[in-house]
Structure 1
């Protein structure tokens, strides 16, 4: 006689639960406490553990630091509550962090001795752990890096499966957020164009993460990856009626003038940004543009490579991508011009004298936008234009700027 289903249920649920636990990916988490004190103060580890729970089972939790240091002593209780093993590292030399070496040794030890661990999460701050990340990837492990946004993190994240910004040291401006969104949308389009076929959303997102491991649609203001893709007019997102899976493909044309969203002005701004991208004009933040401009102004007669190198050295926040976009804008606005040649024949660049940076850049940008709008049959709305501009203009000044941009457009097309 068969056992009634109700009688089997508790045992079945128990076995199913145990099996699901066994099947989940194993994760090891390592934190270099002294490099991430601000992140710890803002409940960083707790939030990270919550995010990691969606990936698998966290079986190793280790936090490294000199626990005799008053700056980190206050974190012990909370880390202990979260289940971390606290690893003490005494620093015999002032300002030298021996935790980096101990953490590296332990990570490799766990990777060799516990092969079941598939994910290694390293919250390490500004230390350059790229060789360790690459070694773990060579061993077939998935690596998540955690740290503040900085030029160093931009180079480290290429060695990770995914990179998470601690997010407490930097708040993106509206223009910077639009620039980051523009980059992400461009990346999605490039991957679909290279694939030349319809892709499942999971495949598309994995492709984006393989190029930019820090990509996260929520950081750009979207609730889901589907919402992010639906905001890109050149991409069509569809759901298979049979298995309910979602796919994405490039549309035959880019209806840049379409208003997908309820807010017409926001939709026009996004359309303008995409049209500018077609004209090889990539947006960047006012901060990046001003910093690179000031650096080039105070260091004339330099190659682009030298300007980029100096910008990386002087700025703790600008990434190589931001610096490069700022340089391109300065060159295409004719703010940065060739002023000579080195002995090796390399172009040397200097800032054009006596100009208004914001107005010059805005006029050059609008001239390209007007050309793209005419080609695509997209209307020009002054209110939407203001959101793109670097400068602040009253109605009269905006009219003059539009006239200047229109004259530049006519000259370029003559």
Structure 2
């Protein structure tokens, strides 16, 4: 963390409502961690009418954020202007009265903050902006010294954000071309190169790509740049590459598959992955049947802190994600969040590490990509010497996935059993099959349709629904013809996105019976052992709350609080305690269907109810918990 003094100003309604609408929740912890990366945050203020957002105020207070109350006189634009004006006035006052503050972090994407950002820079202050990709003005981005996308700091991989590393590599190449365009200038100082990259795109940040320093980022791009130290200064030059090779294309395909699966490569720190897996094995082996996966990660992080071993907790969590996909526990946990884990009998450290690292190979197999041992040895382990290990990991992955021929994985693809067994998912499959396309299927076409769906989703569930349905149909056609890069994992995500949008569209059109069917289809896809869990997990709380609220809507009873801002445990209490017997019966039916489709969803609500009972003494939490547990 820098020693600079920092002031943080949060346009709550801009950032929180946008994040809630796009991703189901707003992670203020991640926002504050990003702000703290720029220095010592001595001023932290958030602006809103807190009488309308009581559910969020506690979260901000826990992060030492001062809540500035702005009452909602008038509405719409009037209230919005009140927030903008007060925030700008406070920023300007702070800049004038506290000259020791050198960095200002503005959380919000409104173009109205452009003028104050420029004024701060004129005063010699550093301005950092934080906002959502789809809710940020391009003018504001250019006005800041540095702009950080919310999606990058919380690890959300949207269709628009999924190519961040490829974009960064392209940016690196472009910046090098500009700096070395004149004869005799074949190399450039790394600091000057980064400055040029930021002048082209000030959202570039090597930390959000997984690299602690710019040097680490450069080292990981050894295929396109050379670096060397001269007189204690780092110099960079472009490698002479006349054009992309088939190996370059194949490596890009591998990287794209891992991004789709929400798995990190840990470029520049590959040893970290293996070391964390080894340490995690010992934590689990020494405490069988005691720890959930999250508890094991926290236990390991505490060990690193005690031993003063530098390990980023987010990196540890990313490594631990491999454990969920590997077959290393007995019994197989129903929920990695809730169940205490026991390793398979006889599983030693190396077998555990192999099983976890074979997950990478499983992703390539599911994506129909050929296993090129030398390329993957370099990509995953940074050395051609690891080629025999790649072959071994591929065998493990094939056995787990029951894939006979990696090169033919896509051919003859058929819907998996989980899509056929649940009636709600069968109905969605029929909709995908019935969808017609007006353009040839391609990976680019699927990505474009998905990006359109994400872009329009905050404004129109119906339009988003159509885009996601077409994207799913494109991916289905690609899978059936064995297109390399097409994957069942991506199809699951597209169908989950379709179910989310379709449920919202039906809910808003008062068709609560149909909306409940789409909610159930969505829940049926949400499995911790599939990438769709990580991609869509942020949407689970609002989806569960809206699903439970249909009991009230169908009985034409008012919903006391917005489901989008109400935890599903609180919504469960609200519906369960309702005096209308029709509501109670519908609640019972909804819970029974939810348990049938995905028991983990019910367990998550019960777990939260237990917390509410113990920690906050919430009335009726115990009764609702017992009622949920009793529903067959």
1:53 is matched with which residue?
36
Q: Which ranges in structure 1 are unaligned for 5 or more consecutive residues?
A: 1-20, 272-282, 295-311, 318-357, 363-381, 393-414
Corresponding position of 2:198: 209
Aligned match of 2:131: 147
Aligned to 1:386: 484
Residue among 140, 158, 173 paired with 1:172: 158
Q: Match of 2:5? A: 26
Q: How many Å separate the matches in 1 of 2:214 and 2:44?
A: 30
Q: Which runs of 5+ in 2 are unaligned?
A: 257-441, 460-473, 491-632
**1:119·1:143 contact (CA, 8 Å) conserved in 2?**
yes
Alpha-carbon contact 1:126-1:153 (below 8 Å) kept: yes
Q: Counterpart in 2 of 1:247?
A: 235
Cα 1:169–1:129, aligned 2, differ >3 Å: closer, same or farther? farther
Partner of 1:76: 57
In the superposition, relative to structure 1, how do residues 254 and 199 fare at CA in structure 2: closer, same or farther (>3 Å)? same
Aligned residue pair count = 271
Q: Does the 8 Å CA contact 1:176/1:284 hold for their aligned counterparts? A: no
Quote the offset at 1:133 in angstroms. Answer: 1.5
* 1:304-383 equivalent positions in 2, closer than 5 A: none
| Per-residue deviation, residues 15-67 of structure 1 (Å, max 9, x unmatched) | xxxxxx9x931111001222222559856333233233332221111111112
* Contact 1:147–1:153 (Cα < 8 Å) also in 2: no
1:243-293 Cα distance to aligned partner (Å, 9 max, x none): 3x5332112334633858xxx93257789xxxxxxxxxxx99646744999
Alignment check: 8 A CA contact 1:130 1:159 kept? yes
1: CA distance between counterparts of 2:140 and 2:132?
11
Do the aligned partners of residues 55 and 291 (structure 1) sit closer, same or farther apart at CA in structure 2, a change above 3 Å counting? closer
Alignment root-mean-square deviation, CA? 4.3
**For 1:285 and 1:152, how far apart are their aligned partners in 2?**
25
Instruction: Work out which structure has the larger RCO, using CA pairs closer than 8 Å and 6 or more positions apart in sequence.
Output: 1
Q: TM-score, normalised by structure 2?
A: 0.37
Equivalence for 1:377: none
CA contact (8 A) 1:149 1:170 kept: no
More helix by share: 2
Query: 1:210, CA displacement in angstroms?
Result: 2.5
Structure 1 residue 91 corresponds to structure 2 residue 76? no
Q: In the alignment, what sits opposite 2:92?
A: 108
**1:67: which partner in 2?**
50
Alignment partner of 1:145: what SS?
strand
> TM-score with structure 1 length normalisation?
0.54
Cα pair 2:84 2:112 within 8 Å, conserved: no
Relative distance call for 1:176 and 1:45 in structure 2 (3 A) is closer
Q: Is the 8 A contact 2:253 2:485 kept in 1?
A: no
- C-alpha distance in 2 between matches for 1:284 and 1:163: 30
Pairwise CA distance, 1:216: 2.7
Aligned counterpart, 1:121: 105
More strand by share: 1
Shift of 1:164: 1.6
Which stretch of structure 1 is more off in the superposition, 119-128 or 106-115? 119-128
CA distance in 1, matches of 2:123, 2:216: 35
Q: Would the alpha carbon gap of residues 161 and 35 (structure 1) be closer, same or farther in structure 2, given more than 3 Å must change?
A: same
